[in-house]
Amino acid sequence: MNSIWTIARKELSDSLRNRWLIAIALVFAVLALGIAWFGAAASGQVGYASTPATIASLASLGIFLIPLIALLLAYDAIVGEEEGGTLLLLMTYPLSRGQLLFGKFLGHGLTLAFATLIGFGVAGIAIALLVEDVAVGALAAAMSRFIVSTILLGWGFIALAYMISVRVSEKPVAAGLALGIWFFFVLVFDLMLLGILVASEGKLSPELLPWLLMLNPTDIYRLLNIVAFGEGAQLSGVLSLGADLPIGAAGLWFALVLWFVIPLAAAWALFRSRRI
């Protein structure tokens, strides 16, 4: 455990040193406040609209931003050590590959968690203090749910980035593949699902289709943050499939947890079989 913490501690201090943590937190805070106040500007209204609308907008933006930041933070975790010439040296220490990988995950995961907590937390507190008629309890619950799911989504993409990082031997290749992952889950997947939906002309089992959403952590994340507002929640596009899912919020949380546990375990297995 000491070795894991030593690796994590270095990652954390690196993200403080290179200002990653503070930069991410700042971006989150500015975006959250911007969306809270100007999110409804398109409909001719400036000012805080409602908590569900704000969270839905934040989640829509989050699916673009969080995976990108997580992938950027983590894509060079192992390949960067290898290219920098430190991986071989690290592996001659009493440190297993699993300890190195989990230490990195702890460090990157905590960096993202702190940045999310600080960025969106500050925004939440600002809304609670500045908006007069906001229901603070509901806001706190929605914000907490949003922050925790954002952290889990970020961890998922950190683990996906590790699957690349332990496999390739050049950083630019890792960066390219990480962007490919972002492109697939954030831009392509829903279009593909929509395409399957239209092309199948109802021939596909209606019970099966909603489950396909579970194959994309960003869809789970959006469902979690929108479905939580109950019957009146607006599910648009492929997310409307989610209304037919026979699992509740707990199931969605579980799926989001699996989305970082399974890729992390896969990255570990891939790393163990790698020749150094």
Partner 1 sequence: MSCFRLENVSYRYDKALVLNGVDLRLESGEILGLFGHNGAGKTTTIKLILGLMTPSQGRVSVLGGEAGDPHVTQHIGYLPENVMFYPQLTGREILNHFARLKGAPLRQVPELLEQVGLGDAMNARVKTYSKGMRQRLGLAQALLGKPKLLMLDEPTVGLDPVATADLYRLLRKLRDEGTGIVLCSHVLPGVEPYIDRAAILTDGALKAVGDLSALRRQANMPVTLSIEPANGTPALEKAIAGASASNGLMIRKDNGRLQVDVRPSEKMALIQALLNSGEVQDLGIHQPTLEDVYVHFIGSGGLAHRGGAQ
Say whether residue 203 binds partner 1 (CB under 8 A): no
Q: Which of 10, 64, 180, 244 binds partner 1 (CB under 8 A)?
A: 10
Query: For residue 246, which of 221, 218, 227 has the smallest C-alpha distance?
Result: 227
Say whether residue 16 binds partner 1 (CB under 8 A): no
116: its two tokens: 């999310």
Q: How far is the CB of 111 from partner 1 (least distance, A)?
A: 16
Q: Which is nearer to partner 1, 93 or 183 (CB)?
A: 93
Q: Which of 1, 44, 94, 137 binds partner 1 (CB under 8 A)?
A: 94
Angle CA 223–229–233, to nearest 5: 70
Q: Per-residue b/e over 195-223, b at no fewer than 16 CB within 10 Å?
A: eeeeeeeeeeeeeebbebbbebbbbbbbb
Percent of residues in the chain assigned helix, strand, coil, to nearest 5: 80, 0, 20
Q: Which of 46, 47, 86, 183 binds partner 1 (CB under 8 A)?
A: 86
Say whether residue 275 binds partner 1 (CB under 8 A): yes
Q: How far is the CB of 218 from partner 1 (least distance, A)?
A: 33
Q: How far is the CB of 222 from partner 1 (least distance, A)?
A: 37
Q: Which of 16, 30, 46, 89 binds partner 1 (CB under 8 A)?
A: 89
Q: Which is nearer to partner 1, 117 or 270 (CB)?
A: 270
Say whether residue 144 binds partner 1 (CB under 8 A): no
**Which residues touch 194 (CB under 8 Å, ≥6 apart)?**
237, 238
Say whether residue 14 binds partner 1 (CB under 8 A): yes
Q: How far is the CB of 80 from partner 1 (least distance, A)?
A: 10
Say whether residue 96 binds partner 1 (CB under 8 A): yes
Say whether residue 91 binds partner 1 (CB under 8 A): yes
> What does the alpha-carbon distance between residue 218 and residue 112 come to, in Å, rounded to a whole number?
16
Task: Provide the residue type at 168 as one letter.
Answer: V
209: its two tokens: 């289709």
Query: For residue 228, which of 165, 159, 144, 132 has the smallest C-alpha distance?
Result: 144
Say whether residue 85 binds partner 1 (CB under 8 A): yes
User: In this chain, which stretch among 23-31, 59-67, 90-98, 110-118 interacts with partner 1, using CB under 8 A?
Assistant: 90-98
> What does the alpha-carbon distance between residue 217 and residue 156 come to, in Å, rounded to a whole number?
8
The radius of gyration computed from the CA coordinates of the chain, to the nearest angstrom, equals 20
Q: How far is the CB of 9 from partner 1 (least distance, A)?
A: 8
Say whether residue 2 binds partner 1 (CB under 8 A): yes
Say whether residue 50 binds partner 1 (CB under 8 A): no
Query: For residue 256, which of 140, 157, 115 has the smallest C-alpha distance?
Result: 157
Q: How far is the CB of 273 from partner 1 (least distance, A)?
A: 13
Q: How far is the CB of 19 from partner 1 (least distance, A)?
A: 12
Q: What are the φ and ψ backbone dihedral angles of 166, each rounded to 5 degrees?
A: -85, -15
Structure-token match 């699996």, residue found: 258
Contacting residues toward partner 1, per CB under 8 A: 2-3, 6-7, 10, 14, 17-18, 84-86, 88-96, 275-276
